[in-house]
């Protein structure tokens, strides 16, 4: 008999989590203006708001924390991180930053100018925010299949090469770089194929353009390439990662995802001149170039995390847990983005709540209902996150409204996943009674979903 699947680690430290009752949750969510970001974490039972900075560090990472020095300039931890980045990505120039969006801020301060167009697969909200803040435009060229949640394309994160080339044909002079987000978070944690990355490189070369990879979940992307791209089935995750990165000129990484740390990020570069220009902004915004807003101990933990995050057994445990939750939801007939993503299950809120208008924010309504049902916190990836159009100031309604259930790395068990699945099933069973959506009371001009205040319609 084949041995059943199990985790590739054991658990050495635990944190108590607290259940609550409906009455408490009704009060807490009202006090939080129906914005799940404004809840206290103690008011949440199972927290699937994000997989970012919420992972459990390993014994080796904690011991690296103790070894990390606190030097301002030239810390040994900086060199340890530099070596790990070189080994895993092949990039020899790097700047540490306090997290992913900080890397975007530093890099875009050099590269993005007013009126620029930045095409790619779906831009993450902070990436889009940093582009639009500079009065430039993010152009989503993701393949159409990604917007049909029932379509089982193996690489829904891919960019549509024709859409991409169209932007370059019409306005190459306005394009500072092409960006590829690995995995494609906003489309459902969907991977990009190696073939697609190779073609993007070719197009970029034809137009003399820089290629930037937003690499927050590059290891999960490499895992899917190994499983789904025939040619790579016997290639190691590390070798796949090195090939992925060989197609990029620059990378940004939020290390809070696939490097399994609570804080940290970086920019990887190959060009000496770009590195020098970024150094100035790193010093202005982040800290000195050898720590970039991080303590030495954080850089040590990132270095160790980069190795652990690219271990096949770990990735298999990780992605299989996400798949477990997705499969449970599908057994209940709940509509989700298929295939199941790498870091999260994306529930299709438009199909879940077809009776509710998009103007009443279906995914946010669903997220609130799941919280009320069980104390499980997910996040809206829909119209609230999409912000208003920077020119018309009208609400932008994306093709898909998702409730994302992002799973922290090495934190929850499959029993927790069962609770989440049954809680959502209970909401699904009473979906026809859910006729009241949400309306906006107060919002910020960019990245509004983090602090937005809402009320029931």
449 catalytic residue (yes or no) = yes
- Listed residue (194, 216, 427, 377) closest to 302, CA to CA: 216
312 catalytic residue (yes or no) = no
Q: Does 124 engage in binding with ligand F0G (CB under 6 A)?
A: yes
Near ligand F0G by CB under 6 A, which window of 8-16, 74-82, 99-107, 298-306? 99-107
Residues 283-322: x/- map of binding to ligand F0G (CB under 6 A)? Answer: ----------------------------------------
CB of 245 to ligand F0G, least distance (A): 16
Q: Out of 105, 158, 181, 310, which residue is the one contacting ligand F0G (CB under 6 A)?
A: 181
CB of 212 to ligand F0G, least distance (A): 11
124 catalytic residue (yes or no) = yes
- CA separation for the pair 399, 369 (Å, rounded): 22
Given 32, 84, 216, 363, the catalytic residue: 216
Q: Out of 35, 43, 89, 99, which residue is the one contacting ligand F0G (CB under 6 A)?
A: 99
123 catalytic residue (yes or no) = no
Which CB, 337 or 437, lies closer to ligand F0G? Answer: 337
72 catalytic residue (yes or no) = yes
- CA separation for the pair 219, 316 (Å, rounded): 11
Q: Which are the contacts of 244, defined by CB distance < 8 A and separation ≥ 6?
A: 182, 194, 197, 213, 218, 221, 222, 225
Which CB, 82 or 130, lies closer to ligand F0G? Answer: 130
- CA separation for the pair 454, 457 (Å, rounded): 9
CB of 2 to ligand F0G, least distance (A): 35
Site for ligand F0G in 256-285 (CB under 6 A): 256, 265
Which CB, 185 or 282, lies closer to ligand F0G? Answer: 185
Q: Which are the contacts of 219, defined by CB distance < 8 A and separation ≥ 6?
A: 237, 241, 258, 309, 310, 315
Q: Does 126 engage in binding with ligand F0G (CB under 6 A)?
A: yes
Phi, psi of 128 (to 5 degrees): -60, -45
Which CB, 346 or 428, lies closer to ligand F0G? Answer: 346
DSSP notation for 217-237: THHHHHHHHHHHSGGGTTS-H
Q: Does 346 engage in binding with ligand F0G (CB under 6 A)?
A: no
Given 32, 94, 102, 125, the catalytic residue: 125
Q: Does 185 engage in binding with ligand F0G (CB under 6 A)?
A: yes
Is residue 220 within 8 A of residue 237, CB to CB? The reply is no
HSE-CB of 331 using CA atoms within 13 angstroms: 9
Is residue 310 within 8 A of residue 222, CB to CB? The reply is yes
- Listed residue (245, 247, 182, 242) closest to 209, CA to CA: 247
Q: Out of 132, 140, 214, 360, which residue is the one contacting ligand F0G (CB under 6 A)?
A: 214
CA angle, 111 as apex, 173 and 127 as ends, to 5°? Answer: 105
Active site residues: 72, 124-125, 214, 216, 257, 449
Q: Which residues bind ligand F0G (CB under 6 A)?
A: 50, 52, 99-101, 124, 126-127, 181, 185, 214, 216, 254, 256, 265, 406
């Amino acid at each position: 008999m084949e041995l059943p699947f199990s985790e590739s680690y054991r658990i050495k430290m635990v944190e108590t989590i607290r259940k609550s009752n409906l009455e408490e949750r009704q009060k807490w969510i009202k006090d939080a203006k129906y914005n799940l970001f404004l809840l206290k974490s103690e008011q949440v039972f199972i927290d699937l708001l994000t997989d970012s900075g919420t992972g459990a560090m390993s014994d080796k990472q904690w011991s690296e924390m103790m070894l990390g020095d606190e030097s301002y300039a030239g810390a040994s931890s900086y060199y340890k991180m530099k070596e790990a980045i070189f080994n895993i990505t092949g990039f020899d120039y790097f700047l540490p930053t306090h997290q992913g969006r900080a890397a975007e801020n530093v890099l875009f301060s050099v590269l993005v100018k007013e009126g620029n167009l930045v095409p790619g697969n779906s831009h993450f909200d902070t990436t889009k925010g940093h582009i639009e803040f500079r009065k430039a435009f993010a152009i989503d060229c993701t393949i159409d299949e990604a917007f049909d949640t029932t379509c089982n394309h193996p690489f829904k994160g891919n960019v549509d090469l024709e859409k991409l080339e169209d932007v370059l044909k019409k306005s190459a002079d306005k394009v500072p770089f092409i960006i590829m987000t690995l995995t494609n978070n906003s489309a459902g944690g969907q991977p990009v194929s190696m073939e697609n990355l190779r073609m993007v490189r070719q197009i970029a070369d034809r137009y003399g353009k820089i290629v930037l990879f937003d690499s927050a979940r590059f290891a999960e992307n490499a895992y899917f390439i190994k499983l789904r791209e025939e040619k790579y089935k016997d290639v190691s995750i590390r070798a796949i990662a090195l090939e992925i990165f060989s197609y990029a000129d620059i990378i940004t990484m939020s290390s809070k995802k696939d490097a399994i740390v609570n804080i940290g990020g970086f920019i990887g570069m190959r060009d000496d001149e770009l590195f020098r220009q970024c150094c100035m902004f790193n010093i202005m915004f982040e800290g000195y170039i050898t720590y970039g807003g991080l303590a030495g101990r954080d850089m040590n933990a990132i270095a160790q995390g980069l190795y652990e995050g690219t271990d096949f057994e770990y990735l298999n445990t990780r992605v299989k847990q996400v798949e477990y939750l997705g499969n449970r939801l599908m057994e209940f007939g709940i509509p989700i983005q298929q295939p199941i993503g790498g870091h999260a299950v994306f529930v299709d809120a438009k199909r879940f709540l077809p009776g509710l208008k998009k103007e009443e924010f279906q995914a946010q309504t669903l997220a609130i209902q799941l919280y009320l049902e069980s104390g499980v916190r997910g996040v809206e990836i829909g119209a609230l996150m999409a912000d208003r159009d920077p020119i018309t100031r009208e609400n932008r309604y994306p093709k898909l409204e998702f409730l994302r259930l992002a799973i922290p790395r090495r934190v929850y068990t499959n029993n927790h996943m069962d609770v989440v699945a049954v809680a959502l099933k209970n909401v699904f069973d009473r979906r026809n009674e859910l006729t009241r959506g949400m309306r906006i009371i107060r919002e910020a001009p960019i990245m509004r979903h983090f602090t937005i205040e809402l009320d029931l319609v």
